[in-house]
Structure 1
């Protein structure tokens, strides 16, 4: 009863609580808008509201008002009458008076039970035990052989729950009982509904002469709004091993005809955490602008990126029975020219990487140099394809690396027509020509006054950079993916951390502690709190779980 009495907004601030659906969900503050059970003033407020309703409607409902003032004890009514007709009239008058006060009838308590139930199975069992208790009050001498509900008791509890869901079909049900046609605007008009032997509204339809089971020919009608419909869909989704939207639609249609079923089913499957894990869709954001170090002319390898490719198989010597070990290729890529340099490493230790880094710097870099950790998918894939899973002696692999670098660095920086033979490659910005072209012959026998060689080389080199500005940079304008802005990842969000070495169902949970935004204010990296510590990940490596208020864990007792 207390939950049916509203509290004015100014006083709701004194009824603040925090709540979360499960231990890993964030705490959320709430204001209670109704009288709270357990507070000292709750009984007084409940009785005082009833008295005020009686005074306000005394002239319109004299009998009901008198009963409210004299025969109520908090929320219990103790009254009677000399005959049945008079008692029915009293009940009707009380219900009308209370409806004017916007207080619910006895169905409100059942509705509250439905909304508190976390699953269809739990709701049915709760109602089943309530019905058993009522039956024992009527027949106290009847013994109950088992504490477990029987099939008949569960069936009766399901019917009670489904009848409650049919409350919104009240007008249609009354017309059917009077054998009158439904209104044209009724959402059941095209389904020719009927009332089954169990008292439930069912589809009449056109399949009566078919050989289908009666339950399939005349499925139970369900509206889309009540919470019971959602519980039933979640239950069917779980017992049928998490089917997709179309499969679950067909399964549910065998027993229930739900108004607007497909949208509801799509929402249920979307909010199922187990299904969410299997979809393993990670988060993304509008692709950011390119950093200035990638679009500003500079010497090759001044700004470089680093990544690994592999593993590859190494042999310690030639011939048969050679001892084999695993190694990797360390890739260094110039962020401006996209030129590639490869170094062989025998393991992923810090010492081995630093040795490869020193070799790279001694060959390619000047004193002003910056290294960035990046993912070089296309070049890494191209190199592994070239190696083709073969085993190499370390000396021979060094030659392979040189050839692969030469070929990759000689590929065009951007798309060129089939007829264009003067393409621009990273090699042109490194040495002035493609690595795969044959060098020109010796021109030392030509007189010096006939060839200003240095000026010619410088003009050629500057021409390559001019083409880099005019032809290559403009190809970087478009965003090849992530073209739509997305809502930023929020603090406190529960996420899954993507791990390529484990299946999606085993991805660890984490909570967002802080966010890192770009110059455009969009979050593209987050700091996470995990069970084992803290970690920082790009948002493309996490999957944000659905809102904790709507998530469906996918189990019977949730």
Structure 2
């Protein structure tokens, strides 16, 4: 191969002549032939003794130059791929983009050194912004490769594409965004599109989760939507919340942030809580807890109708009342033996309706016992959502709305402890309306002063203001 190449470089093609394969004496050393080539091996083929004009000429199918052993130079080109960052090595969004910003700082320092310019000493806002853009583009290049290819050449997305309804486009940095109507009035910047299954997206959502200290989930989701469009965001945020190690510790530190309650006959103080009191004579507005108070009173009366409790006796009686109340069924009591027992408040408190806990099986190790406990609570939760949660949406009274009490109405305050001819009369000076548009409590100016009463204890008189008079 090297000899052929050297001959081709040092001699012109016109000096070459052709030797047919059957007359090639070199084949005697490399091929097995029936003819003896001892003579031609030394003297060469016989046509060399004739005039050169009688030498054989190559046919059209054959070439004078045999290039079969010439080395072929194959030129290949490879496009330079973008640098990718392994986001799985990071568990925090800030640490990830700060690490990328340090790489960009290093590149800028090298360029400044080659140009004999002053080198930057620390990362700047430009490095951080560029680092975030690079990470956004890396995330999009993995999840939206086809969409980026189409948008980069100005082509429209096909009708079945997942981004066709988002009015997506590429900004000046090559980042995929969705064009919002709010941009036309300069209220908000177009948000960046991210895929929910990407590690970078997961870290971004986790950063918002940590920003709000593992609380205020709806606020965090609303904040994310202001900067990013992530499909199935609520599902992703729920997954981040459930896998967050610090969430449980945070929630536990909240039932611990309770301050001491300072109370007396006049004031009750509790940091961070806005107290709302029922108006006098309206125990029904207490809802569930007032119903429990009534039940407790009834149980105490039935335990000992004529007994005057001391401290110890009252404590024992209240414990008994507590057990009875928490043993009440919350769901339908089935008489079928194959059905489970009705759910009671004692189930989440004690594990069963009566507080009985079966002894662990002999030889059951700790991990197995923990698995059995998880199965029990999973079963309880399924029953709770199926059998009890649906009952909470039922409404048994107050189906029809009544005209709300208005300011200026002349009313009579119902007081069951007084005869009707002694019930106070007055004028409504303030009303408090609930979310359903109904007035729940009113402030009344009477001859004995200003009183606050529930709307259920108010009787509106036919006389009052009319046409502003």
Question: What TM-score results when the alignment is normalised by the length of structure 1?
Answer: 0.35
Name the one with the larger strand percent. Answer: 1
Question: What TM-score results when the alignment is normalised by the length of structure 2?
Answer: 0.41
Greater RCO (Cα-Cα under 8 Å, separation 6 or more): 1
Task: Specify the structure having the higher radius of gyration (Cα).
Answer: 2
